[in-house]
Amino acid sequence: MLTSELAQSIKAALESSPRNSYVGELHLQIIKYFDQLKAVSGKEFCEEVGIPRAYGSEFSKMIKIAPRLLAAGLDPSKI
């Protein structure tokens, strides 16, 4: 579930990222919070975080990739 606190945390991370790293930061945030986001739609994510709906496809890609990264040993707490 995407709580308002989580949405604000992700939004703050995106806003503080360098302009040329925005999409990369978006990817990292989705992987970092995968467990809380896996039941959220791309549309809902974009609306709650306040980003254009076009980023919904990026959200979907990272939701599909995150389980493989976690299974390979990625530690989300280090992101």
37 exposure class (CB count in 10 Å sphere: 0-12, 13-18, 19+):
buried
Provide mean pLDDT across the span 23-43: 96
The tokens of 79 are what? 């992101």
Compute how many other C-beta atoms are within 10 angstroms of the C-beta atom of residue 59.
24
**What pTM value is reported for the model?**
0.92
Model confidence at 1, pLDDT cuts 50, 70, 90, reads confident
Write the pLDDT tens digit of every residue in 34-72. Answer: 999 999 999 999 999 999 999 999 999 999 999 999 999
Contact 76, 70 (CB under 8 A): yes
Query: What is the per-residue pLDDT for 2?
Result: 86
